[in-house]
Amino acid sequence: MEEYKYSDKEIQNEKHLSVLNLPVEIPVEEIEAQINNKITGLIYDDNSYEDENNDNLKAKVWKISPIKIVAIDSSFLFEVPLKIWVSAGYKISPLGMTMSGYKDTEFSIRIRLISRIGILPSWQIRSETYVDSYDWISEPSIRVAGINIPIKGMVSRMLNRNFEKITDAIDEQVASNLELRKNAELAWNIARQPVMLSKEYDTWLVIVPTGVEMTPLLAKNNVLRSVIGIKGYTQTITSAEKPAVPPLQKLPDLQIVDKVRDDFKIGLISLVSYEDAARLAAKQFTGEKFSFLGGKIPCGGYFHRYVRTERPARHQGRPQRKH
């Protein structure tokens, strides 16, 4: 069987580099719900008086109500209410008598955290959280023999030393609840599937993806938004059967861009086998009549590199299709 094919260079020149845009929207309330489901109960437990340079304190920290999240641009603002139990060692000498021991107290604070979000080329979410401020809902106090033991300063220093445990927990949950790689891999593989453009003409659109780009995650109206762009070459293929799916390729590293181009083009050159061309021509023209200057010629059903007819070749002129 003889068939004409474009050279690889010609086909490559007729392929169009396009960008398939995929909007991403993540409601912040969903992230808030997932983080609250993961961070529950006891967050921190210091059960030794001797650690932290013999600070003479034991402490437990619980989350006492849901964490609130507000998203602004590429940052999350967290408000975390905590209940804290402290057992503090004391030593006092009222009236010349030395008294020492340990006393417990409970109090509550509200911490405000700021988390800045970024995406690495490996598709990993990078979250950097730090404590912005905190205030006392109720203050710690210890009273021994009618004397108030000042422990607020000790507790503040203890909190400052251990806030990192809370921010690390927040970073871990933000990263795990903003999973982009799985969705990107799904979109990457879907883009490789041929899409039928015309059932009548058996025309398929084939995309060969070459790269992925994405805009930074930015929040507006408490919805985290971005656009993923799958770059690839598009081409049309005429075939009665669904074209073969291009070989599976690993999801490439992510490229962060300020804007994903809205530029989807379809290559109009179509690869078609001789058998498909003959079948489509027969379907389209069999039974049609073409008029010449000397008469009308019905088109038969035989196609072999050209349209065969039963009239002698002496008829000359430009054929016109009659409907």
pLDDT at 307: 36
Cβ atoms 202, 240 nearer than 8 A: yes
Amino acid, single-letter form, for residue 316: Q
Regarding pTM above 0.75, the answer is no
pLDDT at 132: 93
10-residue mean pLDDT profile of the chain (323 residues): values are 46 66 90 89 78 70 92 92 81 57 83 92 91 89 70 80 85 85 87 84 84 92 91 83 82 92 62 55 50 48 38 40 46
pLDDT at 93: 57
pLDDT at 267: 53
- What are the residue ranges spanned by the domains of the chain? 8-25+181-275, 28-177, 286-322
- Of 23, 24, 39, 41, the closest CA to residue 174 belongs to 39
Q: Does domain 28-177 have CATH number 3.15.10?
A: yes
pLDDT at 263: 67
Angle at 45 between CA 40 and CA 47, to 5 degrees: 155
- Of 28, 42, 121, the closest CA to residue 84 belongs to 42
Q: How far apart are CA 14 and CA 116, in angstroms?
A: 44
- Of 270, 261, 267, 269, the closest CA to residue 20 belongs to 261
Tokens of 283: 């379907």
